[in-house]
Amino acid sequence: MMLNKLFFRKWILAVTGLFLCLFLVVHLSANCLLLLPQNTAKSLYNSYSATLRESPLIKGIAYLLYLSILLHVLYALLITLSNRKANPVKYVVNKTSQNSTWSSQNMGMLGTLVLIFIVIHLVNFWARIKLGLGEEVTYDKSGNKDVYQVAYTLFHNFYFVLFYTLMAVPLAFHLYHGLKSGFKTLGFYHHRGLQLLAKLSLWYAVVMGIGFGIIPLVVYFK
Ligand code: HEM
């Protein structure tokens, strides 16, 4: 009974986590538009962003995304608390370090940093653009919300850029271990297959970390 409950919680964590990983691929690809020359970047980024906001299908997927973030955080918390309850004493000799990676032992801390990043990110971008909170967003020549200008202004603040670039590190470590163990939870047990998935997770994490870390820097020096 306990095992079923734990498996269900881990399953929810894996499914929501893999969905969030998929979202990040699309999100990074779209944000790469910011790397283009200024005028091209502005018109493409703004019209892409407007298309997303107006599409009923994407609106539905966005709600699924918010739900996934909430469930992912909630179930990560439930699993951590029940692990602590079952294992309240920290052993003096901790054997886990011999057969697990640094990121797997620090998923709670890494996840918390990613969550802090997401909250700050949503306040600065999403709440302004989608909810109209805070400083008003202007419109470009085509009549689209000037989302490019929002990113451009924020990424010309040195501390903001530093924060984004530094946060790409815990994000990459969290994604590396999360993706690897997500595949395992969903039933990929085959040894050779797992080795391949571990490599894929590593590459995925490296691309996401470098991509999200470098975009603010490139915009800063534009
Ligand atoms: C270079 C870095 C990034 C840039 C420039 C960026 C830009 C944006 C923008 C402009 C939006 C609002 C989209 C709109 O409503 O039109 C947004 C939303 C969002 N971003 Fe990012 N983002 C970046 C990195 C990240 C990272 C690393 C994560 C997650 C770890 C993330 C998670 C989200 C989420 C969950 C939303 C809400 C999605 C929605 O409602 O459609 N972003 N981002």
Q: Distance between CA 111 and CA 108 in Å, rounded?
A: 5
**Is the model's pLDDT at 126 over the cut of 70?**
yes
| pLDDT tens per residue across span 30-47 | 999 999 999 999 999 999
DSSP 12-70: HHHHHHHHHHHHHHHHHHHHGGGGS-HHHHHHHHHHHHHHHHH-HHHHHHHHHHHHHHH
Q: Distance between CA 128 and CA 44 in Å, rounded?
A: 20
- What pLDDT is attached to residue 205? 98
User: Between helices 2-31 and 158-185, what is the axis angle to 10°?
Assistant: 140
| pLDDT tens per residue across span 167-215 | 999 999 999 999 999 998 998 777 788 889 999 999 999 999 999 999 9
Give the atom of ligand 1 at the shortest distance from the alpha carbon of 45: 10
Q: Distance between CA 118 and CA 212 in Å, rounded?
A: 13
**In angstroms, what CA-CA distances link 43 with 19, 189, 190?**
29, 46, 47
- For ligand 1, the distance from its centroid to the CA atom of residue 92, given in whole angstroms, is 42
Q: Does residue 212's CB lie within 6 angstroms of at least one atom of ligand 1?
A: yes
Give the atom of ligand 1 at the shortest distance from the alpha carbon of 66: 35
- What pLDDT is attached to residue 172? 98
Average pLDDT over residues 130-136: 91
Q: What is the mean pLDDT of the chain?
A: 91
Q: Does residue 184's CB lie within 6 angstroms of at least one atom of ligand 1?
A: no
Task: Report the candidate in 148, 108, 105 with the shortest Cα–Cα distance to residue 125.
Answer: 148
Q: Which domains does the chain have, with CATH numbers?
A: 2-85+105-220 (1.20.1300.10)
- What pLDDT is attached to residue 86? 78
Task: Report the candidate in 120, 124, 175 with the shortest Cα–Cα distance to residue 147.
Answer: 124
Closest Cα to atom 29, ligand 1: which residue?
118
- What pLDDT is attached to residue 1? 54
- What pLDDT is attached to residue 55? 94
Sign of CA dihedral 70, 72, 73, 77: positive
Closest Cα to atom 38, ligand 1: which residue?
62
- What pLDDT is attached to residue 193? 83
- For ligand 1, the distance from its centroid to the CA atom of residue 126, given in whole angstroms, is 7
Burial of 179 (0-12, 13-18, 19+ CB in 10 A): buried
- What pLDDT is attached to residue 2? 61
Helices marked H in 131-190: 147-154, 158-185
Length of the chain: 222
**In angstroms, what CA-CA distances link 35 with 53, 83, 138?**
22, 43, 21
Burial of 82 (0-12, 13-18, 19+ CB in 10 A): middle
Average pLDDT over residues 113-121: 98
